[in-house]
Amino acid sequence: MGQMRKQTQINHMLRALQLVNDRDGVRTKSVQFQSCFQLLQAGTTQCGRDRHVENYSSGQQSVTGVTSVDDSNSYWRIRGKTATVCERGTPIRCGQPIRLTHVNTGRNLHSHHFTSPLSGNQVWWHPEVSAFGEEGEGDYLDDWTVLCNGPYWVRDGEVRFKHSSTEVLLSVTGEQYGRPISGQKEVHGMAQPSQNNYWKTMEGIFMKPTELLKTEVHHAEL
């Protein structure tokens, strides 16, 4: 009887250790704050980039999708929501608000109630997505919520970005600009979920999960 109880305790301990290892594995594969990477629309070859050729009618810098994955102007840094500071290497949870800051210009991915220039005349409202702010500082309209499955945003997983104020999803549906940027596609917001608003990370620099968080998981499980 005592031997069976002892074996049961050992099994429970092994299960707890397995849970810790599983969680650590997810954290290792997760996307962390201050990582820099390209964003690719899932199922296509559209990379989101900050376009500094011209501004929208709102006066803000426009954002487009390009097919070249070698475009150095397509890198974004992930940060905490407006007026918050998140420790570098902290894994990003599904449902967490973030900011995406363009590496080359220091402007944040932004949306508001201005209608997008190309797709805005359709039945469904498509708000403009722009790049806004200076040196990483803009306003509360720079905040996007990460929508994904599971506890954390993982590198090889598909995610959606929901604008925290207008509640639209970051999307590319195929509308193309003419000269001087022929072939670049409009990035805009959509109210309806579809394949046009799934995104995933590509090449970049990903931070390692902080040791502090790993320690907290071990203490919680054991």
Global confidence as pTM: 0.74
User: Any residues with CB less than 8 A from the CB of 142 and at least 6 apart, and which?
Assistant: 82, 99, 108, 109, 110, 132, 133
Percent of the chain with pLDDT over 90: 31
**Quick check: is 2 in a domain?**
no
Query: What one-character-per-residue DSSP string does 184-206 give?
Result: PEEEEEESS--GGG-EEEEEEE-
pLDDT at res. 193: 94
pLDDT band at 116 (very low <50, low <70, confident <90, very high): confident
Q: Which of 72-81, 170-179, 181-190 has the lowest mean pLDDT?
A: 170-179
Provide the number of structural domains found in the chain: 1
What is the 8-class DSSP label of residue 167? -
The answer to whether position 149 is within a domain reads yes
Domain holding 118, by residue range, is: 32-209
Q: How confident is the model at residue 2 (pLDDT cuts 50, 70, 90)?
A: low
Is residue 158, in this structure, part of any structural domain at all? yes
Q: Give yes or no for residue 20 having a pLDDT over 70.
A: no
Question: Which of left, alpha, beta for 198 (phi over 0: left; psi -120 to 50: alpha)?
Answer: beta
Question: Is 19 a domain residue?
Answer: no
Nearest partner of 33 among 210, 183, 160, judged by Cα: 210
Q: Which residues pair with 205 in a beta bridge?
A: 36
Whole-number pLDDT of residue 195: 92
Q: Is residue 102 part of a domain?
A: yes
CATH number of domain containing 49: 2.80.10.50
60 phi, psi to nearest 5 deg: -95, 155
